[in-house]
C-alpha cells in the first residue's frame, strides 16, 4: 500500500515537473523565406527576431531560415498550413490559390510608384485582403515592401517587340504569365532558388525583379541588360497559421503584433533605400547596362501589357482594381 502511494507520488511529481518544464519552454516561431538576408524581407525577419528576443525573452524563440534553406517557395505555404513553420512572407504573386483578390497586386502598370502601393495597402480594400484567407487558416499580419520590378535580359529591351520570343522566368502567377504572353514572350514558372542557374544556363533569357533581388542573387552577373521599367510590383504579405496565432496566449500575441507593426514600418521605410543601393552596386559591378525608358517607350509597354487587367477583372473584381488605381491620383 505504502509502496504504491510512493510510486504514485513520484509519478505525480515527475508529471508536474514535466508540466513546469513544458510551461517554461519558449514558443518557437520558425520564419522561413527565400531571399538573402541583405534584402528588405531578410532584414525584416532579423529585426523581428531581435525585438522578440528583447521583449519576450524566454517566452518566444524566433528561428529565421533565409535563402530557401528550410522551404522553397513551392513548399512554404503548405508547410505553414501543416504547422511546420509559423511565419512566412511570400510575394503577393504567390497567393492565387488562396485569394483571387490578392492578384490585383500583379497587374502590370497598375501602381505609379511604391507610395501609391503603400496607400492602397493601408486602404480599407487593401486591409481587407489581409483577412481574405481566414477560412483557409491563413491570417495576413501586414504588408512588407520590396519594390518595383525591372526587366532584365541578355539583350536590350526598349520596346515590347524586343521581348518577342524570349523566355522569361515568372513566379507562380497566372497574371504574370499573361503579362509576358501579352508581349509575345514565353513565360516559364520557376522557383526563386533556381533563377540564377536558369539564367546562367539559358533555360530562361530574362526575368523581372526589384534591384535588391537581382543584386543579392547575383543575377546581374548573368544578365547584360536591365530595363528600368518599374512595370509591376514585388511586395510581400506576412502571414501566419490562423489556428496557431489565435491559440497564442493573449499577452504574447499582443506583444508580437506590436513588434510586427514596428518592424513593418521599418521595412517599408528602408526598402527603397536598399533597392537604390543595390542598383548602385550593380552599376559599380560593371556587368550590366541599366537602360532608362523614354516616356514614349514606357507607354508602349503599358499599352501592350494593360489588356491583362481585363482578363482578370472577373476574378479580382472591378471595384478592387478601381480602388487600387485610385491610390495613384493623390
Ligand atoms: C520571387 O520568386 O521572385 C520572389 O517571390 C522572391 C522573393 O521572395 O522576393
Per residue of the chain (330 residues), what is the pLDDT tens digit?
334 444 444 434 443 444 444 557 999 999 999 999 999 999 999 999 999 999 999 999 999 999 999 999 999 999 999 999 999 999 999 999 999 999 999 999 999 999 999 999 999 999 999 999 999 999 999 999 999 999 999 999 999 999 999 999 999 999 999 999 999 999 999 999 999 999 999 999 999 999 999 999 999 999 999 999 999 999 999 999 999 999 999 999 999 999 999 999 999 999 999 999 999 999 999 999 999 999 999 999 999 999 999 999 999 999 999 999 999 976
Helices 114-122 & 250-285 angle (0-180, nearest 10): 170
Right CATH for 26-329 from 3.40.190.170, 3.40.50.2000, 3.30.930.10, 3.40.50.11540 = 3.40.190.170
Q: Any residues with CB less than 8 A from the CB of 12 and at least 6 apart, and which? A: none
Residue 321: exposure state from Cβ atoms within 10 A (0-12, 13-18, ≥19): buried
Contact 86, 79 (CB under 8 A): no
The CB of 171 under 6 Å from ligand 1? The reply is yes
User: Best substitution site from 173, 212, 213, 236 to test ligand 1's pocket, by max atoms within 8 Å of Cβ?
Assistant: 213
The CB of 34 under 6 Å from ligand 1? The reply is yes
- Residue extents of the structural domains in the chain: 26-329
| pTM for this predicted structure | 0.92
CA distances from 5 to 13, 158, 244, 318 (A): 12, 85, 39, 72
The CB of 213 under 6 Å from ligand 1? The reply is yes
* Partners of 168 in beta bridges: 187, 206
Residue 330's pLDDT is 61
Q: How far is the CA of 192 from the centre of ligand 1 (A)?
A: 6
Contact 39, 218 (CB under 8 A): no
Ligand 1, residue 169: give the atom nearest the CA: 3
Which residue's CA is minimally distant from atom 5 of ligand 1? 91
Ligand 1, residue 93: give the atom nearest the CA: 5
Q: How far is the CA of 16 from the centre of ligand 1 (A)?
A: 46
User: Best substitution site from 38, 69, 91, 188 to test ligand 1's pocket, by max atoms within 8 Å of Cβ?
Assistant: 91
User: Best substitution site from 170, 196, 234 to test ligand 1's pocket, by max atoms within 8 Å of Cβ?
Assistant: 234
Q: How far is the CA of 91 from the centre of ligand 1 (A)?
A: 6
Helices in the chain by DSSP H: which ranges? 2-24, 40-55, 76-82, 114-122, 124-130, 174-181, 195-201, 211-216, 242-246, 250-285, 295-305, 307-316, 318-326
Residue 329's pLDDT is 79
Ligand 1, residue 94: give the atom nearest the CA: 5
Residue 194's pLDDT is 97
Amino acid at each position: 500500500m505504502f509502496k504504491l502511494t510512493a510510486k504514485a507520488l513520484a509519478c505525480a511529481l515527475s508529471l508536474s515537473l514535466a508540466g513546469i518544464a513544458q510551461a517554461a519552454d519558449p514558443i518557437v516561431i520558425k520564419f522561413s523565406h527565400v531571399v538573402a538576408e541583405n534584402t528588405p524581407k531578410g532584414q525584416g525577419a532579423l529585426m523581428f527576431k531581435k525585438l522578440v528576443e528583447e521583449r519576450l525573452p524566454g517566452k518566444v524563440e524566433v528561428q529565421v531560415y533565409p535563402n530557401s534553406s528550410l522551404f522553397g517557395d513551392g513548399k512554404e505555404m503548405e508547410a505553414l498550413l501543416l504547422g511546420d513553420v509559423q511565419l512566412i512572407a511570400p510575394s503577393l504573386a504567390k497567393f492565387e490559390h488562396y485569394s483571387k483578390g490578392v492578384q490585383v497586386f500583379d497587374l502590370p502598370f497598375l501602381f505609379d510608384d511604391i507610395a501609391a502601393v503603400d496607400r492602397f495597402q493601408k486602404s480599407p480594400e487593401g486591409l481587407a485582403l489581409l483577412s481574405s484567407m481566414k477560412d483557409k487558416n491563413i491570417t495576413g499580419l501586414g504588408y512588407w515592401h520590396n519594390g518595383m520590378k525591372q526587366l532584365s535580359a541578355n539583350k536590350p529591351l526598349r520596346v515590347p517587340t524586343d521581348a518577342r520570343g524570349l523566355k522569361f522566368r515568372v513566379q507562380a502567377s497566372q497574371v504574370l504569365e499573361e503579362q509576358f504572353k501579352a508581349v509575345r514572350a514565353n513565360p516559364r514558372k520557376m522557383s526563386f532558388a533556381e533563377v540564377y542557374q536558369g539564367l546562367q544556363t539559358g533555360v530562361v533569357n530574362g526575368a523581372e525583379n526589384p534591384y535588391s533581388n537581382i543584386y543579392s542573387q547575383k543575377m546581374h552577373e548573368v544578365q547584360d541588360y536591365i530595363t528600368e521599367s518599374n512595370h509591376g510590383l514585388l511586395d510581400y504579405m506576412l502571414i501566419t497559421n490562423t489556428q496557431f496565432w489565435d491559440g497564442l496566449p493573449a499577452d504574447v500575441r499582443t506583444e508580437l503584433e506590436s513588434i510586427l507593426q514596428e518592424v513593418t514600418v521599418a521595412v517599408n521605410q528602408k526598402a527603397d533605400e536598399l533597392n537604390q543601393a543595390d542598383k548602385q552596386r550593380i552599376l559599380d559591378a560593371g556587368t550590366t547596362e541599366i537602360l532608362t525608358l523614354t516616356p514614349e517607350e514606357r507607354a508602349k509597354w503599358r499599352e501592350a501589357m494593360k489588356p491583362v487587367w481585363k482578363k482578370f477583372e472577373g476574378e479580382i473584381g472591378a471595384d478592387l482594381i478601381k480602388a487600387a488605381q485610385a491610390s495613384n491620383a493623390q
